Amino acid sequence: MPDANPTADHRRTFEPPADWPARGRTVVRFEGVESCARVWLNGVELGFHTGSRLTSEYDVTEVLQPGRNVLAVRVHQWSGATYAEDQDQWWLPGVFRPVTLRHLPDAGVDDVFVRAGYDHEAGTGSLDVECVMGVRLQVPEPGPGRRACRRAAGTSGRATSGRSSPGRPRCRGCTTRR
C-alpha cells in the first residue's frame, strides 16, 4: 500500500419512518464502498469491511433509535483488497452505491445458498441447499398440477429430480420457506 492513504469521513443524520416495525431485525446495507470502510451508528462501532464490489450489511437492531440517528463511515482508498480488485478502472474512492436501512422480519429467510448440479450420465439434477435457519425447499415439476418433485427440510438438504434431458428438463424454479 502507498504511504499516503487518502481517507474520508462521511456522516449522515436520518430518522427511521414513524411506522418502522418494532419486531424483527434492522440492518444497514452498503451496496458499494471503495476500498474499505469502518462504520458507526450513534457512536457505536458496527464493524469494518473491504471489497468495494461486495454488499456489506450490519445489524443495527440494538443501536437504532426512534428519532434522530447518526451514521458515520470512514473510507480509506487503499486496503489489502485494493490489489485483488486491481483492474483497468478509475480509482474513485468513497461510498459510490446506495446505503439503505432494511427491516427483516423475525421469521424471514436469510443467507440461503443453493448449488445446482447435473449428472449427465444418469440424466438427474440436484440442488444442494444450505441455510442458517431451518427451511423447506420445494422444486415444482412442469405440467398440470405442478407437483413438487422433491422436498428437503432443515438447515441443509438435497432435492433431486428424476431423469431429465437438456431438451426436456423436469424441474423448474425453486422456492424456500421457513
**Tens digits of residue pLDDT in 46-83:** 999 887 677 889 999 999 999 999 999 998 887 776 66
Whether residues 153 and 96 fall in one domain: no
Beta bridge partner(s), residue 173: none
For 42, residues 6+ apart whose C-beta sits below 8 A from its C-beta are: 63, 64, 65, 69, 70
**Residue showing cell 431451518:** 134
Give CA–CA dist 55/60, Å, rounded: 16
pLDDT tens string 99-153: 999 998 887 766 777 777 877 787 777 777 777 666 666 666 555 554 444 444 5
Q: For residues 28 and 101, is the Cβ–Cβ distance under 8 A?
A: yes
Domain that residue 151 falls in: 112-177
Q: For residues 51 and 30, is the Cβ–Cβ distance under 8 A?
A: no
Task: Say which residue, 160 or 37, is predicted with more confidence.
Answer: 37
On whether residue 134 sits in a domain, the answer given is: yes
pLDDT of 168 > 50? The answer is yes
CATH for 97: 2.60.120.260
On whether residue 1 sits in a domain, the answer given is: no
Strand, helix or coil for residue 83: helix
Q: Kindly report the number of other CB atoms within 10 A of residue 33's CB atom.
A: 26
Whether residues 13 and 89 fall in one domain: yes
Q: Kindly report the number of other CB atoms within 10 A of residue 137's CB atom.
A: 23
Give CA–CA dist 36/81, Å, rounded: 8
Give CA–CA dist 61/84, Å, rounded: 32
pLDDT at 61: 94
Query: pTM of the full predicted structure?
Result: 0.66
pLDDT tens string 19-40: 999 899 999 999 888 778 999 9
Whether residues 80 and 35 fall in one domain: yes
Give CA–CA dist 158/129, Å, rounded: 6
On whether residue 2 sits in a domain, the answer given is: no
On whether residue 89 sits in a domain, the answer given is: yes
